[in-house]
Homo-oligomer: A and B are copies of this chain.
Amino acid sequence: MIEPLILNLQARDSVSAREAEVLRSMIVREHRFVVGEDMVTEGSRPSYSTLLLDGIAARYKVLEDGRRQITALHVAGDFVDLHAFPLKTMDHSIVALSACHVGFADHGDLKRVTETEPHLTRLLWLLTVIDGAIHREWIVAMGRRSKKSHMAHLFCELLMRLQVVGKTNNNSFSFPLTQAELADVPGISLVHLSKTLRLLRDEKALDWVSRTVTIHDWRELVRLAEFEPNYLNYYTESR
């Protein structure tokens, strides 16, 4: 059941059978969130962290005028709020963008891991640090890439992350967001997002129909995005 997490970790470092067992025993109390439901709320102090087993979730902040900015997208195998373990208080909310299947890891158990499992601790630490690396790549995309390149970059990243956890079919994957939701990733208007996606479609780089993204021309997409996957820290790429 926690296979996506194991795959995620194994893509970066070796995981012993015992460590996998520790993780398995730690993920308890499965739960399902429906589309649009908040999984974690800003200001809360959760006593557990949430492992996404299936679905797509987003971290976001809302400004005073109601506009929203998504700061991260999460897929199966991601701990959406592992940072809340050292951090205690949530500084943002997390919403289920599709139906989401999750499991919970109690912070008490995580604390015990830090006391008895140094290597596993470093693996979990690594996961939060990779979140940070993705944040940085997003900052670069927002600051310096064209919107077209930014979107190309996002789809490159999502394809790779989903491939690692086995959630792709060839070069396509389920992506059941609305354009209004996706527009909150680059922080642009729904109208302009629509026009930007049209550019990628016109170049036959990718399609996004009936809630499924299909990448037709990976090479071209990578070129448009200047996509360099080493920030995702997969074995095969950066070592």
Q: Spot the interface stretch: A23-31, A87-95, A165-173, A210-218.
A: A87-95
Q: Which residue of B lies closest to A226 (CB)?
A: B64
| A128 beta carbon closer than 8 Å to chain B | yes
- Does the CB pair A63–B144 fall under 8 Å? yes
Is A200 engaged at the interface, CB distance under 8 Å to the other chain?
no
Pick the contact of A61: B43, B128, B140 (CB < 8 A).
B140
Contacts of A129 in B (CB 8 A): 83, 86-87, 128, 132
In the bound assembly, the distance between CA atoms of A223 and B189 in angstroms comes to 24
A174 close to B (CB within 8 Å): no
A-B contacts, 7 listed (Cβ < 8 Å)? A59-B136, A63-B226, A83-B132, A86-B123, A89-B230, A115-B118, A121-B121
Query: Complex Cα distance A225/B78, Å?
Result: 31
| CB closest residue in chain B, given A113 | B118
User: Which parts of A113-134 form the interface with B (CB within 8 Å)?
Assistant: 114-115, 118, 121-123, 125-126, 128-133
A231 at the interface (CB under 8 A from B): yes
Nearest first, the 6 closest Cβ-Cβ pairs linking A and B are A143-B187, A135-B135, A86-B126, A71-B136, A91-B231, A132-B132
| CB closest chain-B residue, reference A140 | B69
- Is the Cβ of A89 less than 8 Å from the Cβ of B142? no
**Chain A, range 217-239, C-beta contacts under 8 Å to B:** 226, 230-231, 233, 238-239
The minimal Cβ–Cβ distance linking A210 to chain B, given in whole angstroms, is 28
Q: Are A135 and B139 in contact (CB under 8 A)?
A: yes
Q: With the chains together, A115 CA to B119 CA distance in Å?
A: 8
Q: How far apart sit A72 and B136, CA to CA, in the bound complex (Å)?
A: 8
